[in-house]
Structure 1
Amino acid sequence: MLIRNYHPSDCKEIAELFYNTVHTINAKDYTKEQLNVWATGQVDLKKWNQSFLDHYSVVAVEGKRIIGFGDIDKTGYLDRLYVHSDYQKQGVATAICDALEQTAHGNITTHASITARPFFEKRGYKIVKEQQVKRQEILLTNFVMEKEMTPDEFKKLWKKEEETAHIHGWDFSHIHNRYREEDDLPWDYEKIIRQYLRKNMKVLDYDTGGGEFLLTLNHPFEKTAATEGYPPNVELCKKTLLPLGIDFKSCNTPSTIPFEPESFDIIINRHGDFHAKELYRLLKKDGLFITEQVGGENDRDLVEMVLPNTEKLFPHLNLAEQRKIFEDAGFHIIQAEEAYRPIIFYDVGAFVWFAHIIEWEFPGFSVEKCFDALLKMLKIVTDGGCIKGTIHRYLLVAKKQTQ
C-alpha cells in the first residue's frame, strides 16, 4: 500500500469509492433512506476536486487501485476519510489518518459517523457533541469529535515520520505540498542542458539518483550513460536504466569514474559529487560540464534551530572556490551563478522527515534529542504558518579547453 498526494485525475474514482463505501460499510448503522441522501451518486466532481486541492489530501493505493482517501483543511478540520469496502480493517484508515494528522498545528476536529466513531475514539478523539444533520429533510446522526494535540501526541506523530524516513531514488513526494524549495531559482537547470544537448551527443549523468531527471531529457538511450553510488539507488538504476540500453555503472568515487578518456560531449551533475580533473579526462574536446550544486551554507539556519553549533561540513562548496578549481583544471567558465533562496515547511512532521533524509546536514538528529527545539518550531508554525530556512545553490557551465 502506498499513501500519496491526491491528483485531480483521482476524483472520479474517489467519488465512486465514496458511494460504494457508504452504501456497504455504513449500511449497518443507517437506513437505506439515510444512505441515499448521504451518498446520492451524483457528486459535483468539479467542486470535490477543488475542495481536495484546497485541503491537504491523500489517497491510499494498492497497485493501480485507489483503496482509500482523506483530507484535512488548514484549521485542523479532518473532512473526509473513507476506505474501500474490500480493504476494511487492514490499516488503510490508520495510514491515511497518520498522514493527515501530521499537518495539524493544533487540535484536530472531525464530524464522525456512527460507523467511524469507534475508530476515532481509539485514536484519542473525544466526543464534543452528538448532532443531527439534515439532508433533503432526512436526519442523519453524527458526532463532532476533537483530538487534543498535546506535546506527547505531537511526539508520537513526529516519531512516525522518523520511522518512515526513507527514499526511493531521489523522490520527495512524501512531503509534497507540505514543503517547498527550488521553485524560484534564477536559472533553469533543465533548460540550460537542453540549450546545449544535441541528439548525436554522448551524455553522462554522474550521481543520477534513480535516473528520474535523466529520463525526462528523453535523450537517445544508446548515447546516454549514468553512474550512481548509493546502494539502494544502484539497484533501482539496474532495474530501470539498464533495460533501456543506458550505459549504467556503479560508482561512488568521483576521481575514478569507470569510462574511457574523452567519452562524452556533455557531463551533467545535479547535487552530486564531482572531481574537476576527472571530468576533464572524460570530456571530449570542447565538451561541457553542467552542474547545479548545493552550497556549503545550505539549510544552515534550520540546522541551528535543532542542532546549534554544528560544524559546517562543506565550507568550500561555494561558487568562488569551485570556479577557481575548474579554471585551474583547464576549463573555461561559460556560466556561473549563485543563489540563496527560501525553503519552507508547513508542518514540523515534514521537517522531521526531511532532516532524516538529508542526514549529513543534520548529524545526530532525532525527535527525542531535538524534541524541545521541535516544539519551538511548532509554535513558529502555529503563529506564522510555516518554518523558513535558506537554501544555497550554485550553477556552473564549464567548457573543456585543450592545450
Structure 2
Amino acid sequence: MYDTATFEDLLVEGASAPVDGWDFSWLQGRASEQRPSWGYLRLISARMAAARAALDIQTGGGEVLSEVPKLPPVTVATEHWPPNLRLARRTLEPRGVRVVDVAEDAPFPFPDESFDLVVSRHPNVVRWDEIARVLIPGGTYLAQQIGPGSNRELAQFFTGPRPIGDERSPERAAASARAAGLVVDELRHEALRTTFDDVAAVVYFLRKVIWAVPDFSVDRYRPRLADLHEHIRRHGPFVAHAQRVLVRAHKPQR
C-alpha cells in the first residue's frame, strides 16, 4: 500500500494518475476535505427542480450537475478545457443537457434573459456582466466559489510566503454582483480543513488544481516534495484549509 511506498514510488503514482474532470475520488484514503455546511448539491437540486431553464457555468466534467435528481426542461452547461469538455458531453448529454464550449473569460453565446437559474461550482473566472445579462428578471444566481487564499498553507510550502489578494473575497464578489445589477441575497464564507496523507496526493492535487502552484511540476519541485514527504512521515498528514464562498443573488424585476 501507499503508506509503505518509497518517495520515488509515490511521485510516480501521483504523476501518472489521470486528472481529467473534477472527480477527486482517486484521493480517497489519502486526502480529505471538510464539506461546506450549506450543502451545494442540495441547494442547486432544489432550485433546479423548480426552474424552467438553467445554466451551469464551468461544469468541469459535469460531475455535480449529473447528480441533480431533476433537471429543468432546458439545461445548458459550459466548459472549455478539452478533456473536461469531452467528459461533460459523455456524462450530461444522455440526460438532455446541451454542453457548450465557452472559454472561462469569454462572453456567453446565449441570448439576453435566457435562464431563470444560473449556477456554478468553483468557477475560476466569474463573468458577472454576462450572468446578469442572461438571467431573466427575477432569476437567481447560486454559486459555490473559491475563496481567498484557498489551501495557501500548501501553496506557500512550495513558493514561500506570498500576499493574499482580495479578488476572491466575499466582499469583492458581492461588490461585483451589485455592479452588474444583481441583488445579493446571501453571502457565506467557510474555511474547510484539508489533509494530505502522502506526497502522491499532493502531486495529484497540484497537477489537477493548476492555479494553486501555477508552475508546478515534479521535476521543478522535487526537493520541496522530498521535504514534504519527510514532514508527513515524521508529523502525520499535512493540513491546509480550503476557502469556500456561497453566493446567492437575483436579477431585479423591471
State the TM-score, normalizing by the size of structure 1.
Answer: 0.59
Query: 2:158 maps to what in 1?
Result: 306
Q: What do residues 254-298 of structure 1 show as CA deviations (whole Å, max 9, x unaligned)? A: 451111111111110000132111111111111000010112301
Alpha-carbon deviation of 1:382? 2.3
User: C-alpha separation between the residues in 2 aligned to 1:162 and 1:349?
Assistant: 4
Larger Rg belongs to: 1
Q: Mapping of 1:195-234 within 5 angstroms?
A: 195-220=46-71, 222-234=73-85
Pairs within 5 Å for 1:354-373: 354-373=205-224
Larger deviation, residues 241-250 vs 283-292: 241-250
Taking the aligned partners of 1:229 and 1:191, their CA distance within structure 2 comes to 26
Aligned-partner residue type, residue 280 of structure 1: A
How far apart are the structure 2 equivalents of 1:259 and 1:344?
Answer: 40
The code of the aligned residue for 1:187 comes to W
Instruction: Specify which structure has the bigger relative contact order, considering alpha-carbon pairs within 8 angstroms and separated by 6 or more residues.
Output: 2
Change (3 A) 1:377 1:253: closer
Name 2:250's counterpart in structure 1.
399
Contact 1:203 1:266 in 2 (8 A): yes
Choose which of 209, 219, 239 in structure 1 pairs with 2:90.
Answer: 239
**1:248-327, aligned counterparts within 5 Å?**
248-272=99-123, 273-309=125-161, 315-327=166-178
1:343 aligns with 2:233: no
Matches within 5 A, 1:178-189: 178-183=30-35, 185-189=36-40
Give deviations 1:129-164, integer Å, cap 9, x for gaps: xxxxxxxxxxxxxxxxxxxxxxxx41x223313431
Give the share of equivalent positions with the same residue, in percent: 27
Q: Tell me the secondary structure at the aligned position of residue 44 of structure 2.
A: helix
Which ranges of structure 2 fall in alignment gaps of 5 or more residues?
Answer: none
Unmatched tracts of structure 1, length 5 or more: 1-99, 109-152
Of 159, 177, 185, which aligns to 2:29?
Answer: 177
Aligned residues of 1:295 and 1:393 also touching (Cα < 8 A) = yes
Which has the larger displacement, 240-249 or 258-267?
A: 240-249
Which whole-Å deviations, capped at 9, do the CAs of 1:313-339 have from their partners, x for residues lacking one?
x64111011101101211111110011
Q: Say yes or no: does 1:159 pair with 2:11.
A: yes
* Residues 1:196 and 1:236: Cα distance change in structure 2 (over 3 Å): closer
Give the Cα separation in 2 of the matches to 1:323 and 1:255.
21
- Structure 2 vs 1, CA of residues 348 and 200 (structure 1 numbering), >3 Å: closer, same or farther? closer
For 1:249, what is the secondary structure of its paired residue? strand
- Structure 1 pair 306–254 and aligned structure 2 pair: CA distance change class (3 A): closer
- Counterpart code for 1:265: D
Residue 385 of structure 1 and its aligned partner are, at CA, apart by: 2.0
Deviation track 1:57-107 (CA, whole Å, cap 9, x = no partner) reads: xxxxxxxxxxxxxxxxxxxxxxxxxxxxxxxxxxxxxxxxxxx2x333xxx
For residues 173 and 206 of structure 2, the distance between their equivalents in structure 1, rounded to whole angstroms, comes to: 26
Map 1:98-177 → 2, pairs under 5 A: 100=1, 102-104=2-4, 153-154=6-7, 156-177=8-29
Is the alpha carbon distance of 1:194 and 1:238 closer, same or farther for their aligned partners in structure 2, counting shifts above 3 Å?
A: closer
Q: Answer yes or no: is 1:332 the counterpart of 2:183.
A: yes
**Secondary structure of the equivalent of 1:197?**
helix
Instruction: Confirm or deny: 8 A CA contact 1:347 1:381 kept in the other structure.
Output: yes
- Judge conservation of contact 2:21–2:87 (CA < 8 Å) in 1: yes
Aligned-pair distance for 1:253? 4.0
Change (3 A) 1:159 1:379: closer
The answer (yes or no) to whether the contact 1:299–1:392 under 8 Å persists in 2 is yes
Task: State how many pairs are aligned.
Answer: 253
Q: CA deviation at 1:346?
A: 1.0
Query: Which residue number corresponds to residue 227 of structure 2?
Result: 376
Confirm or deny: 8 A CA contact 2:77 2:100 kept in the other structure.
yes
What SS class does the counterpart of residue 126 from structure 2 fall into? Answer: coil
Per the alignment, do residues 192 and 240 of structure 1 end up closer, same or farther by CA in structure 2, a change over 3 Å counting?
closer
Q: CA deviation at 1:186?
A: 2.8
Q: Take 2:71 and 2:209, find their aligned partners in 1: how far apart are those partners?
A: 32
